[in-house]
Structure 1
Amino acid sequence: MDVTVTDVPERDRYEARAGAELLAVAQYERAEGLVVFTHTVVQPAHEGEGIGSTLVRAALDDVRRQGLRAVPRCPFVAAWVRRHREGYGDLVAADPQG
């Protein structure tokens, strides 16, 4: 399946799509120099297909490209970063809310 991940800032989220079909979203909030990931949802019909991982990887690559840091409040994003600490651990910033 050809998945495209796009930042949709007017909705405060990254979207993973196959054509017009919305497969998953990663909600975020922006703060000074940060992208705070708050919630990730994969459509039930596509769970277990790696869509969530594709989404998070592309979102974090975009955060890096913009010179920002990420705060993984979302448990899925936090777990993904822990599993890929070597490539993405440097992007993680302390949560400003403690």
Structure 2
Amino acid sequence: MDPEPNAPSTTVDVRHEPEQSRYTIWRNGEAVGLARYSSSARAITFVHTEVDPQFRGAGLASTLVRCALDDVREHSDLPVVSQCPYLSSWLTTHADYQDLLTRGT
């Protein structure tokens, strides 16, 4: 279905902020969520993912995780470790990302 002609458009952007060890998701210029990680010489460990409660249910957490993992895949050879319940659950339903868990082992 086409959007209503006068409906405002929504812009979503995911940004990597390595100096803060996180990825953030922005909706119409406002930061509305983040995925925190730690990295070592052995792995990239995602520890927490959250989206502002007023924006939950719109698929933003899934977009955030997908973009973060795509970035890890493109810029690192390290395996991903999930200590984040949301990311762990997301990975069980996205088989095309599970190879990230076993890279380098």
Does TM, normalized by the shorter one, top 0.5?
yes
Structure 1 position 19, deviation (Å): 3.5
In structure 1, stretches of 5+ residues that fail to align are none
- 1:55 to 2:64 alignment: yes
Matches within 5 A, 1:1-98: 1-66=10-75, 67-85=77-95, 87-93=96-102
Partners in 2 of 1:42 and 1:11 — Cα distance? 17
TM-score by length of structure 2 reads: 0.82
SS at structure 2 position matched to 1:59: helix
Give the conservation status (yes or no) of the 8 Å contact 1:71–1:93.
no
TM-score by length of structure 1 reads: 0.88
| Aligned residues with identical type, % of pairs | 39
For residues 5-25 of structure 1, the C-alpha deviation after alignment (integer angstroms, 9 at most, x for no partner) is 111011110000024201110
Give the conservation status (yes or no) of the 8 Å contact 1:36–1:70.
yes
Structure 1 position 68, deviation (Å): 2.8
Structure 1 position 93, deviation (Å): 4.0
SS at structure 2 position matched to 1:53: helix
Partners in 2 of 1:24 and 1:93 — Cα distance? 27
Question: Which has the larger Rg?
Answer: 2
Bigger strand share: 1
Counterpart of 1:73, as a letter, is: Q
Count of matched residue positions in the alignment of Structure 1 and Structure 2 = 93
Partners in 2 of 1:68 and 1:17 — Cα distance? 26
